[in-house]
Amino acid sequence: MTLVYVEHQDGRPDDASLQAIALVREITGGAPLHALLAGPGAEDAAAGLGAHGVATAHIAEHEALASHAPVALARCIGELIERLSPAAVAAAGSERGNEVLAHAAALGDLPLAANCVAAEAGDPLTVTRIRWGGSLLEDARLHGPVKLLTVAPHTVEAAEVGAGPATLERFTPSLADADLVVRVVETVEQSSEGGVNLADARFVVSCGRGAGSPEGFAPAEELAALLGGAVGCSRAVTIAGWRSHTDQVGQTGTKIAPEVYLACGISGATQHMAGCKGAKRIIAVNVDPEAPIIANADYAVIGDLHEVIPAITAELRKAGAG
């Protein structure tokens, strides 16, 4: 059998966790697929998992699991490993999925392959995982009594398989004080500044070193505002101190998935492209027709961003937008 740790919110399983279930179904064969859920809303979230092929959903009940506590969650996984001897344990390759599985791997001294996009049943288990934020793939074999893996978000499609509801099994994990040292003790809600969230924006216009200065972003701000979009930037910009790191698109910044990404004065380093792979269409604006981004964009404008961005804004105004 196999086990998937399922993250959920407002009583619904996260998409990334359903994607993890879909990948694990592939290596589970005819054996049963189990799920682990914890925290408020776990039972509601478990209700729909049967349709995704989960036979049994284990609900960990403990008051300490009300706020995120990664070591405690890893202990829950450890208990189920003891009890059920799964061949593999998986989770979403989300921040917390990766974190919780790494703790479980450390507790059991088990191998963990993070951010897999494919897996092939067998012992050793063969997986394909992403490196460099998705710019490179690695084929690997996992050796060990239990194989741990996380599934890179948006690389596998979740699918209902028409199975009946999952059996719910409640259990109370035995947790020591030491398991609860690392837990969220306070949550600060950010006051929304009225701006559009970079990660969720349908339109993003970014500028790179080509912007030349902090002031060079004014036309991009204007264009983003006109289309209800967000402004991003490259790392060359954040390390120059022109923009805050919260605006950085890329492997070590924010991953975006807009309908259109307008990338201006950005050369197209792999680490930048790792952050905008999810964009439906990429338009590059660059003075250099040989810039690497031209080979990774859908459309390109060869020209100076200081002229091209205002021209786009003017054209939109002429067309009656905003």
Partner 1 sequence: MNILVCAKRVPMTGGTIVLTEDEQSIQTRHLGFTISPHEECGVEEAVRLIEANGGESVVLALGPSEAEEQLRDAMALGVDRAILLETADEVDGQATAAAIVAAIEAERAAGVEFDLIFFGNESADSGNYQVGIRVAHALGRPCVTGVKGITVQDGRARCEQETASGRDVYDVPLPAVITVKEGLNLPRYPSVPGRLRAKRKPLAASAPERRDAGVEKLRLRLPPGQGKQAEILGHGPEAAPAVVEVLRRAGLVT
Ligand X SMILES: Cc1cc2nc3c(=O)[nH]c(=O)nc-3n(C[C@H](O)[C@H](O)[C@H](O)COP(=O)(O)OP(=O)(O)OC[C@H]3O[C@@H](n4cnc5c(N)ncnc54)[C@H](O)[C@@H]3O)c2cc1C
List residues near ligand X by CB under 6 A.
208-210, 234-236, 248-253, 264-267, 269, 271-272, 275, 285-288, 291, 304-306
Q: Which does 176 bind (CB under 5 to 8 A by kind): ligand X, partner 1, none?
A: none
Interface with partner 1 in residues 279-298 (CB under 8 A): 280-284, 289, 291-298
Tell me the per-residue interface mask from 115 to 154 with partner 1, x by CB under 8 A, - otherwise.
x--------x-x-x-xxxxxxxxxxxxxxx-----x----
Please state, in angstroms and rounded to a whole number, the distance separating the CA atoms of residues 103 and 124: 22
How many angstroms separate the Cα of 235 from the Cα of each of 253, 289, 293?
A: 8, 21, 15
SS3 152: coil
8 Å CB contact between 129 and 114 = yes
Query: What H or E segment, with its residue span, contains residue 52?
Result: none
8 Å CB contact between 98 and 106 = no
Q: 174: which DSSP letter? A: -
Residue 245 Cβ, how far from partner 1 at the closest point, in Å? 4
Candidates 18, 59, 88, 262; binder of partner 1 (CB under 8 A) is 262
The structure tokens listed for 150 are 């996380």
Residue 154 Cβ, how far from ligand X at the closest point, in Å? 18
Q: Which does 73 bind (CB under 5 to 8 A by kind): partner 1, ligand X, none?
A: none
Please state, in angstroms and rounded to a whole number, the distance separating the CA atoms of residues 86 and 288: 54
Nearer to partner 1, 164 or 185 (CB): 185
Please state, in angstroms and rounded to a whole number, the distance separating the CA atoms of residues 267 and 195: 27
Residue 225 Cβ, how far from partner 1 at the closest point, in Å? 13
Interface with partner 1 in residues 143-202 (CB under 8 A): 143-144, 150, 181-190, 197, 199, 202
